[in-house]
Structure 1
Amino acid sequence: MTAQLHVVVIGGGAAGMTTAYELISKGARVTVLEANALGSGSSGRSVGVVGTQMTDPFQILLRRYAIPRFREWEAKGLIFHHIGYLRLARTEAHMEAVHRSAEMQAAEGFRARVMSPEDMVQLIPHLSVEGLAGGIFGPDDGFIDPYQLCTLLGELVRAQGGQIKQFCKVLEATRKGAGYRLETTKGPIECDVVVNAAGAWAPKVAEMFGQTLHIFPERHEAMSILLDNPLEYTMPMVMDLIEGEGTGLNFRYEKPTELISEIHKVSSPDPEDPDNYNDQCMDSSREYLAELLLERLPELPGARLGRGWAGLYPMTSDGKPFAGPINPDEPTLITAGGGGGYGIQLSPVIGIAAADWVLHGGITTAPGLEALAPTPERNRPLVRKEH
């Protein structure tokens, strides 16, 4: 039966392509519609970190399902830079949380080690541990190129008979019988099921179907750190944030003469228009980042800020992704997205859950992902206070 089911996935970012991969691997007929090129939206502006150093049991559960997919795709050509991931702990309460995290990760088969300040300096000689109580390090974590992820999944989808239409924008959607008719810039398409995986554009797509989707496009900035003197070691990903506490500074190795840094500080309390937002880094952000880097990497020689850019985090009210129908009375219209700052590393989970909803009307292959359904309690506005 699923072989006859035609599913259109709107959006060629990480969430859309993982959903398309899951669906076509399980027998559905799949067409992906992407308004630009694969991976050209928020996914392509991500720093691409994939890690398991979380203190929330649910977040570790999500990675139980996500990490095996990354390993599968790595075997099929995805380049995964296993540089490691160090999360910094500032207080004894943070240290208690990372000890619990290490136990939870071990139960899932993930490697993690709680570290003292002295251990962290051995790992990263340029790191200042002033004000830190310790940290937790995952040696198997690292980063991928989100653009390569999207294009690789595109190749795998095509190899199984799927269609991918790039530079194909959806203009209008109407119900037709039990399915849908989509008017696009490349002509009409009829299908049985639609998956809205349009990222920051997902609320606009939902409006075409008469639905209200509360995904909040939140602007964040990143930039490169150029090094005159190449590092003699591979610097892991470093994150100064535990349970919402810390500066939000993170940085990671890109190559011996370059690091990539990001600030988990909200640029504005207002939602951004994904078709019209400032995609460059502001001078005030560069100054703020320079201050944070001087605090945490004060002895890094010959370092200077390079190019900067901004991207959008598709945020939900509770910080967890959406995967499922907004309206239970319309089970053939599935939302897949809202991964926020963890969108790349949670994209396999979004794909698994969305495919279950399409093919089975609920979660059947990954117990626990029922919590990602965009119920009325979850699908509500995100309210930001001014910083």
Structure 2
Amino acid sequence: MTAKLHAAVIGGGAAGMATALELARQGARVTVIEADALGSGSSGRSVGVVGTQMTDPFQLLMRRYGQARFREWEGQGFRFNHIGYLRLARSAAQMRALERSQQMQEEAGFRARVLTPDEMVRLIPHLSAEGLAGGIFGPDDGFLDPYELCTFLGARLRELGGEIRQFCKVTGLARRSGGYRLETAKGAVDCDVVVNAAGAWAPKVAAMFGQQLHIFPERHEAMAILLDQPLDYTMPMVMDLIDGEGTGLNFRHEKPDELISEIHKVSTGAPSDPDDYNDQCMDESREYLAELLLERLPDLPGARLGRGWAGLYPITADRRPFAGPVDPAEPGLITAGGGGGYGIQLAPVIGIAAADWALHGAVVSAPGLEALRPSPDRNRPVGQEERP
């Protein structure tokens, strides 16, 4: 079955390409259909951070599977920037959570250490520790270029015989005996299985199949911080958010004289139309970000805000990704996405689970990831209330 199965993956972002590669590795014939270029959607607008500084055991389980793939790809020549990841804590309760996280990370095979405020300042001389109780630091974490990730996975897929159709929008579909026919701008594609990995567009693709998919496109903004003088150390990724508490400010090294910063939202805003949203930073966002940066990095040398952009986080109600069939009665239609602000680092995990569902009808290669299936209790509308 596996060697003969033909899977069409709709979407050439990180989740789609990771799924496509997992399918091809297991012997499936794969066709990726991307309406634009690889990595041109939400993936290409991500800041690309990959880290393990989490307090939830399931989040760490996902990263154990995901990090194994990143290390494998790095060994094949993919560039991963190991700058480290520091998560800030503001209370004794948060510090206790970080101490538990350190233990869980060590059990999972990750390196991490809990730091005092003084130790954090020694790590990052420009950091103000005012109002902080401490933090946790993972020296092996870092960032990658999301566009490079998509093109790297694309090259690996082609080596395994996979096909990629870029600038090729799905315009129609039909169910047929044992599978589907997708009409596209570059001809029809007959396949046995369809993977909906369209990111912020996934609900629109699902609607074409008569399904209701609750993936919420939330707009986020990122900006460059330009420095008059290059730093004489590498700024790690710094995140001011633990389990929904904190400002959400984060920043990291991009170049010696440039940082990248954004605000990871702690509450859900209004949904955005992926076909019609403002992809530039708004003035009020720049002002708010500058305010937070001045508080946490008050003495950066000649710091000023540079270019900015906006992208979409495809989020779910429980902030965990979807990987599996929405409708058990239609096992040949698989959803792969909804990673939200962690979409890049969870792309390998989504790919593993989605490929298993497509090929085996269940998760067989990564125990625990069956929890990512978009079951009715998970595939529900994203509320406007604050969520962790």
TM (normalized to structure 2)?
A: 0.98
Q: Could you tell me the percent identity over the aligned residues? A: 75
Partners in 2 of 1:252 and 1:97 — Cα distance? 23
- CA drift of 1:269 comes to 2.2
Q: Trace 1:83-102 onto structure 2 (pairs within 5 A).
A: 83-102=83-102
The number of equivalent residue pairs is: 387
1:175-201 per-residue CA deviation (whole Å, 9 max, x = no partner) reads 011100101010111100000000000
Describe the SS at the equivalent of 1:214: coil
Aligned-partner SS, 2:238: strand
Q: Secondary structure at the match of 1:23?
A: helix
Superposed CA offset, 1:75-123 (max 9, x none): 1121100000000000000000000000000001100000000100000
Cα–Cα, structure 1 residues 100 and 110, in superposed 2: closer, same or farther, change >3 Å?
same
Q: Which residue of 2 aligns with 1:169?
A: 169
Residue equivalent to 2:129: 129
1:262-301 alignment runs, 5 A limit? 262-265=262-265, 269-301=269-301
Q: Specify the alignment match of 2:155 in structure 1.
A: 155
Counterparts of 2:63 and 2:267, CA distance in 1: 28
How far apart are 1:267 and its partner, in Å? 9.2
Q: Match of 1:3, SS?
A: coil
Name the residue aligned to 1:104.
Answer: 104
Distance of 2:373 and 2:205 partners within structure 1: 18
Residues 49 and 142 of structure 1 are in contact (CA less than 8 Å); yes or no, is this contact kept in structure 2? Answer: yes
Equivalent pair of 2:85/2:237 in contact (CA under 8 Å):
yes
Asked if the contact 2:267–2:386 (Cα under 8 Å) also holds between the matched residues in 1, the reply is no
- Deviation per CA, 1:9-56: give whole Å up to 9, x if none: 000000000000000000000000000000000000000000000001
SS of the equivalent of 1:228 reads coil
Write the deviation string for residues 324-370 of structure 1: whole angstroms up to 9, x where unpaired: 00000000000000000000000000000001101110011101001
Match of 1:198 in 2: 198
Q: 1:50-129 residue pairs with structure 2 within 5 A?
A: 50-129=50-129
Instruction: Name stretches of at least 5 consecutive residues in structure 2 with no aligned partner.
Output: none
* Counterparts in 2 of 1:2 and 1:143: CA distance versus 1, 3 Å: same
Could you tell me whether the CA contact under 8 Å between 1:15 and 1:350 is conserved in 2?
Answer: yes
Structure 2 counterpart of 1:255: 255
* 2:248–2:266 contact (8 Å) kept in structure 1: no
Match of 2:334 in 1: 334
Ranges in structure 1 where 5+ consecutive residues have no aligned partner: none
The answer to whether 1:189 aligns with 2:193 is no
TM-score w.r.t. the length of structure 1 is 0.99
Output the CA distance in 2 between the equivalents of 1:193 and 1:375. Answer: 19
Question: What's the C-alpha RMSD, in Å, of the aligned pairs?
Answer: 1.2
SS in 2 for 1:156: helix
Distance 2:320 2:267 in 1: 20
Distance 1:70 1:146 in 2: 12
Q: Which residue of 2 aligns with 1:322?
A: 322
